Amino acid sequence: MTLITVAHIAAAEMSVKALAAPFSEPPPYPRMAEWTFREELAKPEALPPVSTNDVKFVRAPVEGRESYRIDIGANGKVTITTEDDEGLRRAVYYYQDRVRAGDLAPCVRKPWVRNRIARCFFGPIKRPPLNHDELMDDVDYYPEPYLDRLAHEGINGLWLTVEWRDLAETSFTKRSPDAMRRLAKLRRTVDRCLKYGIKTWIFCIEPRRCGKDDPLLKEHPELFGCTVAGESLMCPMQHAAQRYIEESVKDIFNQVPRLGGIMMISYGERETTCLSRFDPLTGRFNGNCPRCAGLEPWQIHWETASAIMRGIRAAGSDAEYISWFYQPQVRPERGAWNAEVARHLPDGVTLAYNFESGAVKEQLGRLRNGGDYWLSYVGPAEGFRKVAEAGRQVGAPIGAKIQVGNSHEVATVPFVPVPGLLYRKYKAMREMGVSTVLSSAGWGGDGERRRSLRRPEWLQVMNGNTPLWPERQLPSGDWRLNLDPVRGNLFGRLRW
């Protein structure tokens, strides 16, 4: 067994360059005609129709939200009893599917996962290197046959990415010139999805950190606390910062009142508030905000989450807030403060945590550590387990972030069919009292998908020698890669 050498790295770089050499001008973006895999998802399924004309529907108590009961009389007549409209919707879908399969039987059904949230397969990704904002074009990313399929599979939520300052007006910020256009499309998307019982959740990483030239920082320095590499993080222990958060959320929900909720990476991915300066493994505070230096992390999180919930409720909405802790570190240790956050959640807030981050699994006789999203590892990792147990002790709702379609083992294919592993994952979630599952993010696809998603800007990005992020997949003939950012992260840990 030998260590990777400089020669190995040089050979890998040469191979990638050779693969990437034939790089022609990409087609205009988007070209739905070339999205062959997506075209199939956008078509109605060729299924025999199932009539419900002979079914008797009854509204009566069953077992709570979305629950239903199916009875079959001696004469073969079917009675479906539902407690609410969503229970009726799920019952009809289930009835149709089972009649087609020929195995309809009496049953009582109730979902144990309250929020079953996915990311739209068609939606572009509003993050580097493309930063494509789906609210600023006229493309329909939510075809009704696709929504119908999702609804039949039990999905009741989709998330799309926004930035507060693109949408909201507050006493600190004016409304963006393009805000009304974005809000109009967001309302159309919300209404379209609700036809199929699917709520729209806005996803964001807020409040955003500000550079020294940002107008918000210049005009309202009182909002901010820690400074990191020349950028300032908002301090939710400041009353003014709480007002900014509450007003931003309230305005968005006033403008789009039928939103299902807001989900936000409140820790990880990018720094936002002074909470970001706590080390995920040790809990040590590495910030320079005097107000937060002596506080527990849960106290800072509480103020942010409370301000968000005040904004939602002030808009007259019964929507929820999912606070997602994204901690993809491969080390299995996690600071005890994460569990303390789970013990201190305002009403209406769910704490979501990566299900597999910090995983340890034996493969080929060696223990291996995994970061975020590993289908081959059932889980949960110890970090998630501690958070879920803490939430269960106080009755707090806990969510799990996983990848159902595929994961980092093979992130360039459309999906990896492993129903047995998924069953065991969900079984473990149920045993731990999980009530929300975030089941997908923004990757998965074949070469056709990657080619069709490229834009002319890719040429500028790649020819400018801009390094891709370490977590981006390796390698493909469609991509030109600079291996510098991955050398230490990938090759430095591998043995051959």
Q: What is the mean pLDDT of residues 427-447?
A: 81
Q: What percent of the chain has pLDDT over 90?
A: 67
Residues 492 and 436: their CA atoms lie apart, in Å, by 36
- Per the document, the length of the chain is 496
In tens, the pLDDT along 275-294 reads: 999 999 999 999 999 999 99
Q: CB under 8 Å, gap of 24 or more: what pairs does 403-408 form?
A: 403/373, 403/375, 403/439, 403/440, 403/441, 404/118, 404/439, 404/440, 405/440, 405/444, 406/375, 406/443, 406/444, 407/373, 407/374, 407/375, 407/376, 408/370, 408/371, 408/372, 408/373, 408/374, 408/471
Report, as an integer, the average pLDDT of 119-129: 83
Q: What are the tens digits of pLDDT across the range 75-108? A: 999 999 999 999 999 999 999 999 999 999 999 9
Residue 303: its H or E element: helix 297-314
What angle (nearest 5°) sits at the alpha carbon of residue 463, between those of residues 33 and 493?
Answer: 95
The residues near 161 (Cβ < 8 Å, ≥ 6 apart) are: 125, 126, 127, 134, 202, 203, 204
Query: Using 50, 70 and 90 to split pLDDT, how confident is the model at 18?
Result: very low
The H or E element that residue 378 is part of is none
Q: What is the DSSP pairing of strand 231-234 with strand 224-228? A: antiparallel
Within 13 A of 72's CA, how many CA atoms are on the CB side?
Answer: 8
Backbone φ and ψ of 219, nearest 5°: -85, -25
Is residue 423 pLDDT above 80, yes or no? yes
Say which residue the tokens 């300052």 belong to.
Answer: 165
80, 68 in Cβ contact below 8 A?
Answer: yes
Average pLDDT estimate for 141-166: 94
Are 259 and 200 contacting, i.e. CB atoms less than 8 angstroms apart? yes
pLDDT value, residue 203: 97
Pairing of strands 436-438, 78-82: unpaired
Average pLDDT over every residue of 373-383: 92
Confidence (pLDDT) at 324? 98
Tell me: the pLDDT tens digits for 341-374? 999 999 999 999 999 999 998 888 999 888 888 8
**Largest alpha-carbon pair distance within the chain?**
77
The answer to whether the beta carbons of residues 404 and 422 sit under 8 Å apart is yes
Which pLDDT belongs to residue 55? 95
Which tokens hold the place of 87? 């229970």
* Cα–Cα distances in angstroms (integers) from residue 404 to residues 30, 283, 408, 409, in the given order: 26, 31, 11, 13
CA dihedral 437→438→440→442, nearest 10 degrees, is: 180
**pLDDT of 7 higher than 60:** no
Contact 256, 181 (CB under 8 A): no
Does residue 23 register a pLDDT over 50? no
Q: Say if residues 126 and 134 touch (Cβ distance below 8 Å).
A: yes
- pTM, rounded to two decimals: 0.83
Residues 243-254, mean pLDDT to the nearest whole number: 98
Give the pLDDT confidence score for residue 426 in this predicted structure: 96
> Which three-class secondary structure state does DSSP give residue 82?
strand
Rg of the chain (C-alpha set): 24
Q: What is the DSSP string of 314-348?
A: HTT---EEEEEE----SSS---THHHHHHHS--TT
pLDDT tens-place string over residues 399-420? 999 998 888 777 777 778 899 9
Looking at the predicted structure, is the pLDDT value of residue 164 above 60? yes
% of the chain with per-residue pLDDT over 70 = 81
* Residues whose CB is less than 8 angstroms from the CB of residue 361 and which lie 6 or more positions away in sequence, other chains included: 367, 368, 370, 374, 376, 377
DSSP state of 352: E
How would residue 487 be classed by pLDDT, with cut points 50, 70 and 90?
A: very low
Count CA within 13 A, CB hemisphere, residue 479. 22
